[in-house]
């Protein structure tokens, strides 16, 4: 029995591949799936393949597992493509932190907007071009499930190049999971709606039955001064809706936090956090590699990620609601048409169907529009070959514009362009 063909592009992100495969092969209907693993790093691909075979055995599954360095070969006849590449790896991440830091520009994660997000996008776009060309040649009807950041920029860029793309992020799910625990209500009993842009969406409704659970959150915030020392709580208190991304992420999408030493201390903002995360990811891969080569048993923890749920729903017709990043075709009425927004999506055998949210509260839409402006200028810089748009993106970016002069922005972009070199689109080098 042949199951759907599921391709992992960037399968060398072994720990993430491991979690997704554990979920996928835990579904009875997907135990005979055809799993195709692709990466450009032979060693990482070898480890990913060994991990995949171990997971299949542990799950009692019988998938057909292949691994190849040839992307088009991997994609041939695919039904689903999961993209999780990181162009430039840890070295490029360090560059995105170290060079801006010389100018006094602080970042925490640097993968969404800001100078780090913009240059991560610019070095990813050429690979997305090649991925789209291969998909259009050998699997034009496949659903592309993108995990690669910067999510909104990448999905926006891909939306004109492939037929079916949805961006997936776990921030809404884990925000609601943790909020439910904070207010003392089982997650399964909570109903909620969120909407906005990736890493800056908003919890618009938070209820159990007829109870507004924001009332419980307000009471907690009022009596706990330590809880108020979080960026996202500060945003909630000032803006009226809870943001769906962590405090360390959220801080660098705003102009009010990272330029002030006092705010960094008060709100406990971990400057440079993602360099430490990236180093730990490398160590985790090395531990997994050692376990594979040493015959040590691997943990098979589930992830609750959306890609396995979407694939299962489309294959079986099981209805679900997930949160997806999709083109704004009237989904959020006070954000620009054509940008990429994060909204609830119904999924069943017919595919992924986004839900219309309507208008966001105006203060939330105003913040999102600043974020969207950075996205638009970055995408257009690549599509139109306009290096000046890269600088303009930095001029309107909240944290960068609050921290640097125009001359410093220009020189910083020059330095990062030189540092990333051939990874960037040729017209922008």
Catalytic residue IDs: 170
3-state secondary structure of 153: helix
Does 203 map to a domain?
no
**pLDDT computed for residue 394 by the predictor:** 98
Measured distance CA(299)–CA(18) in Å, rounded: 9
Asked whether the predicted pLDDT for residue 341 surpasses 80, the reply is: yes
Asked whether the predicted pLDDT for residue 255 surpasses 70, the reply is: yes
* Nearest to 3, CA basis, from 100, 68, 80, 58: 80
**pLDDT computed for residue 297 by the predictor:** 85
Asked whether the predicted pLDDT for residue 43 surpasses 70, the reply is: yes
3-state secondary structure of 390: helix
Does 25 map to a domain?
yes
CB burial string 356-393: b at 16+ within 10 A, e below:
ebeebeeebbebbbbbbbbbbbbbbbbbeeebebbbbb
Give the residue-averaged pLDDT of 152-176. Answer: 97
Structural domain range at position 20: 5-167
Q: Count how many domains the chain has.
A: 1
**pLDDT computed for residue 301 by the predictor:** 75
* Nearest to 167, CA basis, from 83, 274, 80, 71: 83
- Which residues, 6 or more positions from 290, have their beta carbon under 8 angstroms from its beta carbon? 296
Give the residue-averaged pLDDT of 170-176. Answer: 97
Does 23 map to a domain?
yes
> Tens digit of pLDDT for each residue in 58-80?
999 999 999 999 999 999 999 99
12 close to 84: Cβ distance less than 8 angstroms:
no
**pLDDT computed for residue 303 by the predictor:** 87
**pLDDT computed for residue 93 by the predictor:** 97
Does 15 map to a domain?
yes
**pLDDT computed for residue 373 by the predictor:** 98
Does 39 map to a domain?
yes
How many C-beta atoms surround the C-beta of residue 79 within 10 A? 18
> Tens digit of pLDDT for each residue in 282-301?
999 999 999 999 988 887 77
Give the residue-averaged pLDDT of 130-148. Answer: 98
**pLDDT computed for residue 405 by the predictor:** 98
CATH number at 93 reads 3.40.50.720
Give the residue-averaged pLDDT of 171-198. Answer: 98
- % of the chain surpassing 70 pLDDT: 100
> Tens digit of pLDDT for each residue in 186-234?
999 999 999 999 999 999 999 999 999 999 999 999 999 999 999 999 9
- pLDDT bin (cut points 50, 70, 90) of residue 279 is very high
216 close to 183: Cβ distance less than 8 angstroms:
yes
**pLDDT computed for residue 1 by the predictor:** 59
Asked whether the predicted pLDDT for residue 302 surpasses 90, the reply is: no
- % of the chain surpassing 90 pLDDT: 97
**pLDDT computed for residue 298 by the predictor:** 82
- C-alpha separations of 153 from 118, 141, 150, 223 in Å: 9, 22, 6, 39
Which tokens belong to 217? 């959150």
200-208 and 242-243 strand pairing? antiparallel
Give the residue-averaged pLDDT of 410-425. Answer: 98
Give the residue-averaged pLDDT of 127-132. Answer: 98
């Amino acid at each position: 029995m042949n199951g759907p063909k599921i391709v992992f592009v960037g399968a060398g992100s072994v720990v993430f591949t491991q979690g997704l495969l554990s979920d996928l092969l835990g579904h009875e209907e997907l135990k005979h799936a055809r799993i195709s693993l692709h990466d450009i790093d032979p060693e990482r691909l070898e480890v990913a393949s060994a991990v995949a075979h171990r997971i299949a055995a542990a799950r009692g599954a019988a998938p057909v597992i292949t691994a190849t360095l040839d992307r088009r070969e991997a994609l041939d006849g695919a039904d689903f493509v999961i993209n999780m590449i990181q162009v430039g790896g840890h070295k490029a991440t360090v560059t995105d932190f170290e060079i801006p830091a010389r100018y006094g520009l602080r970042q925490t994660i640097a993968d969404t907007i800001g100078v780090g997000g913009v240059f991560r996008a610019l070095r990813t776009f050429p690979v997305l071009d090649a991925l789209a060309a291969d998909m259009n040649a050998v699997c034009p009807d496949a659903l592309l499930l993108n995990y690669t950041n910067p999510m909104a920029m990448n999905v926006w860029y891909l939306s004109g190049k492939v037929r079916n793309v949805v961006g997936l992020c776990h921030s809404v799910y884990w925000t609601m999971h943790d909020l439910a625990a904070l207010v003392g209500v089982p997650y399964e009993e909570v109903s909620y709606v969120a909407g906005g842009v990736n890493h800056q969406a908003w919890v618009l409704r938070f209820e159990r039955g007829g109870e507004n659970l924001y009332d419980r959150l307000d009471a907690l915030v009022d009596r706990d001064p330590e809880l108020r020392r979080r960026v996202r709580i500060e945003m909630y208190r000032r803006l009226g809706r809870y943001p769906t991304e962590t405090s360390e992420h959220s801080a660098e999408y705003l102009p009010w936090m990272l330029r002030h030493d006092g705010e960094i201390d008060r709100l406990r903002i971990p400057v440079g956090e993602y360099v430490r995360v990236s180093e730990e990811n490398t160590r985790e891969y090395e531990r997994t590699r050692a376990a594979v080569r040493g015959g040590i048993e691997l943990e098979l923890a589930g992830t609750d990620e959306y890609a396995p749920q979407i694939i299962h729903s489309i294959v079986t017709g099981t209805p679900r609601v997930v949160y997806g990043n999709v083109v704004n075709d009237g989904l959020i009425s006070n954000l620009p048409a054509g940008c990429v927004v994060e909204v609830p999506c119904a999924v069943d055998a017919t595919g992924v169907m986004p839900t219309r949210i309507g208008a966001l509260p105006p203060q939330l839409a105003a913040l999102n529009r600043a974020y969207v402006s950075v996205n638009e200028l970055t995408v257009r810089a690549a599509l139109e070959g306009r290096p000046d748009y890269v600088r303009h993106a930095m001029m309107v970016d909240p944290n960068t514009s609050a921290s640097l002069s125009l001359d410093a922005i220009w020189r910083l972009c020059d330095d990062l362009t030189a540092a990333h070199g051939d990874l960037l689109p040729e017209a922008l080098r």
